[in-house]
Amino acid sequence: MSGFLAWLPDTPRADSRAVASAMAAALRVHEGQGMAWWLADELCVGLLASGSSGDVARQLAPAVSGDGQRLLWLAGEVYASSNPAPGVNARSSTSLDFRRRLLLALDAAAATSLGAADAIIGALDGEFVALLWDRRSHTLTLWTDRLGSLPAFWSRGHAGTAMASGVRGVLAAPAVGADPDLEALREAVSYGGYRLGARTNVRGVSFVGDARRLRVMPAAPARLTRWWHWRDIKPVRPASLADAVAELQGHWVRAVASRLDGADRPGQTLSGGLDSRAILAEAAPRARSWRALTYGVPRCDDVRFASQAALAAGVTLDVHALYHGGDPGWLDARLAHVQETDGLLDLGDLMHAEALPWMRRHLDAIVSGYIGDVIVGPTYGTIETPADVLAALPWYGGILGEPHAAALARAAAMIGALDGAPPRFTLLEDKRPQSTNLAHGALYRPYVLVRRPFIAHAFLDFCQGLDPAWRTSRGLQGAWLRTHYPLLFAHIPHQKTGVAANAPRWRWHVARGTRVSARMASRALRALGLPVAPRVRGFTDDATHWRAHHARARIGALLRAPDAAHRAAFPAGAVEQVLDDWERAGAAPAQVIGALAVFEHYHRGLGTHLAAARRAEPLAPAPLTVAP
């Protein structure tokens, strides 16, 4: 499943067919996506998925209640559920039978309260959006899954309410403005390249968000409610590290098995870290076939350690050299995906777009390890104060960034908004939806299925229910991996530390000292004219490649244009000063330059993209049989 749309006009309109066609055309990113839409009263709902439009219409038709008064669509997948279908899996969750059972459960629960209906949605461990239309009350309800895995956006214009899996889909609806959100740009250059919370790059369009229920009626205010909170995670108190490791492994095995269901050609991107290697260790032996890809600059640690892991696991590994194709080939590959990611991935994160041709050739599902270290490892585990939050975002400051005092106040407000949950959840709440979900939801999903075992409910709840000391000082992650997967973790180093997982602290200090000594020796030998290749720790080298002649010229042209959108966001000459410093010495963080460049490229092409979508040939709605 790769996309959805919904348009609810304030009054019944004759042109709903054209609206749905334009929204779908704006969302569609390649010819292999089929699209079907259904008209129920004044509402139109559409779904996009791989295959023909006829296949989408047949396979993803809505469930209809016995009296014909309620219709349910489901975009995405469910991997496990305690209610309403205990035996559901990824394959069966896309069936009409499952949608019918879910609709029956929602109807029964709604007779009690909306909260009871929310609990039904909360029991679904998956990555999905559910849409329920009640014909009697003319109410459309949208639910996102617990972590908002499928991007969902919405806007309430003066002609109606639009919802879609991409900002551009919302903008293709009538009377939704496309003015740039300059505050979003200021946030992006302040906080690691990302907007925070519900912001997009368009002033009138917002993220729906994680675990949200959005209810809309014609010509009435929308009601957006959160149905799950981070504080709902219950404390977990294992008796010992061995007990914790054993329970963790049980949750992991079930999470991975559920994410492999229905995938004929699964695989992964494999790095030198621990998360993707944990997936390799458990998933590859379970799959009929397995393919892995690693990317980075030549001779970097990620490529070296990933190659060692693939060899130990006996799987095929392909290596893609980032910035492939010379100058400006890699830049074209990234900028080509700016519209389909709604300008929300900066130029650095768009590196993942370089691997899409490989994914389309070799995989039908990617099993992803992103944020694994946040869930089970030490990342974010020691965040307690607003200053900790700023360091982790990160906050950049500088002449473009939000001042430090204002940034601290914002971080404090983010902690306060957690309503009692520990401060570490600010990063999962405010940064993760854009830093992680968009790379998977907006970039990958139109091409392949995306499965993420680290966010399986039972696994996440167990790990985050533990006292953070289990993950930060007691070494749960390393003990787990070395106990159950020693072949891949006992000796192959972790890219972050240069030593194996859970190695004693003194080993890490020795490795660090060795790196420093080797670096100094290499410099001395090179000074003598001897050819010595330095060790390459990072897998990217934006400072070199972004500032190469052709790339620098194109980025500079975008940011120095007299009509650039950023000119209304920052003091006169501020961006030019940052750009000059970056071009000469790489003085500005790459994410700042990348966020500025993508913002400009996005808004320059947005009007053309939407105009083409509105010229799309209208599509007939899919058949919909309901009771009178």
CA nearest to 231, candidates 489, 424, 367, 479 = 424
Residue 628: its pLDDT value, please?
A: 45
Q: What is the DSSP string of 487-556?
A: HHHSSSPPTTTSS-TT--HHHHHHHHHHHHHHHHHHHHHHHTT---PPPB-SS--HHHHTTSHHHHHHHH
Alpha helices (H) along 43-133: 53-59, 96-110, 114-122
**CA of residue 104 relative to chain centroid, distance:** 31
Q: Which CATH class is domain 3-228?
A: alpha beta
- 8 Å CB contact between 400 and 406: no
Residue 584: its pLDDT value, please?
A: 87
Residue 458: its pLDDT value, please?
A: 97
- 8 Å CB contact between 154 and 208: yes
Residue 265: its pLDDT value, please?
A: 96
Q: Mind listing the pLDDT tens digit for each residue in 413-443?
A: 999 999 999 999 999 999 888 888 887 778 9
Q: Is 462 buried (19+), middle (13-18) or exposed (0-12) by CB count in 10 A?
A: buried
Pairing of strands 43-50, 33-40: antiparallel
Could you give the CA distance from residue 21 to residue 41 in angstroms, rounded to a whole number?
17
Residue 314: its pLDDT value, please?
A: 95
Coil, strand or helix: which one is 434? Answer: helix
The pTM score is 0.94
Token readout for 61 is 């038709």
Could you give the CA distance from residue 36 to residue 46 in angstroms, rounded to a whole number?
6
Residue ranges per structural domain of the chain: 3-228, 236-381+433-503, 383-423, 542-565+573-609
| Residues in the chain, pLDDT under 50 | 516, 518, 525, 532, 628
Residue 621: its pLDDT value, please?
A: 85
Residues 6+ apart with CB under 8 A from 352: 269, 345, 439, 443, 444
How far lies 178's CA from each of 17, 120, 151, 153, 317, in Å? 22, 36, 18, 13, 43
The conformation of residue 285, written as its DSSP 8-state character, comes to G
Alpha helices (H) along 345-436: 356-362, 372-376, 386-392, 404-417, 425-426, 432
Q: Which CATH number fits the domain 236-381+433-503, given the four candidates 3.30.70.580, 3.90.660.10, 3.30.70.1530, 3.40.50.620?
A: 3.40.50.620
Could you give the CA distance from residue 459 to residue 279 in angstroms, rounded to a whole number?
14
